[in-house]
Amino acid sequence: MAEPAKRQPPSVAPLAGLRVLAPLARYALRVDLAVAAAAAAAAAAAGAGAGIMPLATAVCRASQLRDWHALWLGPDEQLLLGPAAAGAAFAAAVGNALQGVPHSLVDVSHRQGALEVSGPAAATLLNAACPLDLGLAATPVGFCSRTVFGKAEIVLWRRAEHAFQLEVWRSFLPYVHGLLTLAAAE
């Protein structure tokens, strides 16, 4: 049997303001958010699963619950990000909280990695290959969305005024990093 893919960040040349982030636990959650919120509240009231599941309820915004983040990607889709070591326990707790609620919780940790682009010129650098308006008024802190960077699909998340996290499929990480390096050189 083939060895499972190792979750190591790719080796890329350093560039100021650009870094490959450490591996995270990543889960794609598909569920009716209103039903999920009610189930989580009921679980918390019963003392089981209290405060374990972050849910982003605002369109194109991220929310945080302790070490876990939920990125709103659609009316019934969340990308949940947290510490790699806590993934299995988190998935079990979410599964318990959503017991009886139609949902899908899929571990996608192996599928993608993350890059951080930071610094005063971060938005300008990203706009070299991303069609979104990355001005602070259009994409405030906490904004997240699926978009493209060049020819790669990414999830773009504005973590701070001058810091963005790009969730990129692992096979596209060198391409996105290379495109960012090229844009920075220009």
pLDDT in tens, 129-146: 999 999 999 999 999 999
- Same domain, yes or no: 116 and 85: no
87 lies in the same domain as 121: no
Lowest mean pLDDT among 3-17, 20-34, 45-59, 146-160: 3-17
**Whether residues 33 and 103 fall in one domain:** yes
Between 7 and 27, name the one with better pLDDT: 27
Q: Quick check: is 5 in a domain?
A: no
CB atoms within 10 A of CB 129: 17
Can you give the pLDDT at residue 12?
Answer: 45
What's the CATH number where 175 sits?
3.30.1360.120
Please, what is the average pLDDT of the chain?
Answer: 87
Domain of 34 in residue numbering reads as 24-107
Last residue of a domain, one of 83, 107, 131: 107
| 107/4 Cα distance (integer angstroms) | 14
- Domain boundary at 107, 127, 146, which? 107
What are the beta bridge partners of residue 140?
A: none
116/90 same-domain check: no
- The answer to whether residues 61 and 120 belong to one domain is no
Q: Which residues contact 173 (CB under 8 A, 6 or more apart)?
A: 10, 12, 20, 113, 115
CA 134 from centroid of its chain's CA atoms: 17
The verdict on 142 and 96 lying in the same domain is: no
